Amino acid sequence: MFREIACEDFDRLLAAAPASAAFDAVLARYDDYLAAFDRRYLDAAVQEGDLHHTQNLRAPAFFTLVLGDLSVDGILDLRGAYDRGGVLTVIGSVRCTHFISDIDAQVFIDGDLDATEAVIAGFEDSSLNIVGALRARLFIGNDIGANVGDGAFVDFGDGYCTGLEGIGPVIRPRHGRLETVAALVPVAQNEGYAFDADDIGNWIRAGKPLFK
């Protein structure tokens, strides 16, 4: 399981991790942003090796590092002890039932993100960077989508994905906004985007069904 480490050890372990060249290139674009956090008031945790967690998992620290594959039988939730933000870095692939990001959260995955149900991104000032592929039944990524290296394979959604550099062809769900509104239990908003990421995230946390 995760163990608590100093923020300086998070930086050291991440720098020494056997990551891909594509991952290193993505992370380098965030160097200044990540360096600006005042580490005196934040915490860090690391999981060395693969981890299979048999229930919901919240990010255990502001800086969370997984050196291996992460599998969660439930919700992988980035909303932790802080009001907003956090950095999840996985040198491997992530598999879960639901993935929920958060405002100002930064996610870097050197592998695939497979969610059997939903990936909820699109939070203000957040990013979701996946060197491999994104697979999910539902993707919510309004305005702020996901950056993917090996494509996105999503059945329903409101939002989009692009290449790792945030450019390139836009990848949209197989069933777009109107079909997603018709398929989901949560009621769509009357204005703007059909679904608010925070509202959908809380709906999932409450254990309510997404699909009719």
Walking along the chain (212 residues) 10 residues at a time, the average pLDDT comes out as 96 98 96 93 97 97 97 95 87 98 96 98 94 97 90 94 84 93 86 81 96 96
Is 31 among the domain residues? yes
What is residue 194's predicted lDDT score, i.e. its pLDDT?
82
Is 116 among the domain residues? yes
Is 211 among the domain residues? no
What SS3 class is residue 67? strand
124-132: long-range contacts at Cβ-Cβ below 8 A with a sequence spacing of 24 or more? 126/101, 126/102, 127/30, 128/101, 129/26, 129/164, 131/20, 131/22, 131/23, 131/26, 131/164, 132/93
Is 212 among the domain residues? no
Give first-to-last CA distance, the chain, whole Å: 36
| Model confidence pLDDT, tens digit, residues 68-100 | 999 999 999 999 768 788 999 999 999 999 999
**What are the residues whose beta carbons fall under 8 Å from the beta carbon of 111, sequence distance 6 or more?**
69, 90, 91, 92, 93, 94, 130, 131, 132
**What are the residues whose beta carbons fall under 8 Å from the beta carbon of 42, sequence distance 6 or more?**
7, 61, 62, 63
Is 180 among the domain residues? yes
What is residue 157's predicted lDDT score, i.e. its pLDDT?
93
Is 68 among the domain residues? yes
Taking alpha carbons only, the member of 38, 78, 83, 42 closest to residue 58 is: 78
Is 12 among the domain residues? yes
Is 210 among the domain residues? no
* Residue-range definition of the domain harbouring residue 104: 3-205
Taking alpha carbons only, the member of 131, 191, 119, 189 closest to residue 160 is: 119
pTM of the model: 0.96
What's the CA gap between 81 and 58, in Å, rounded? 9
Number of folded domains that form the chain: 1
Q: Bridge partners of 184?
A: 211
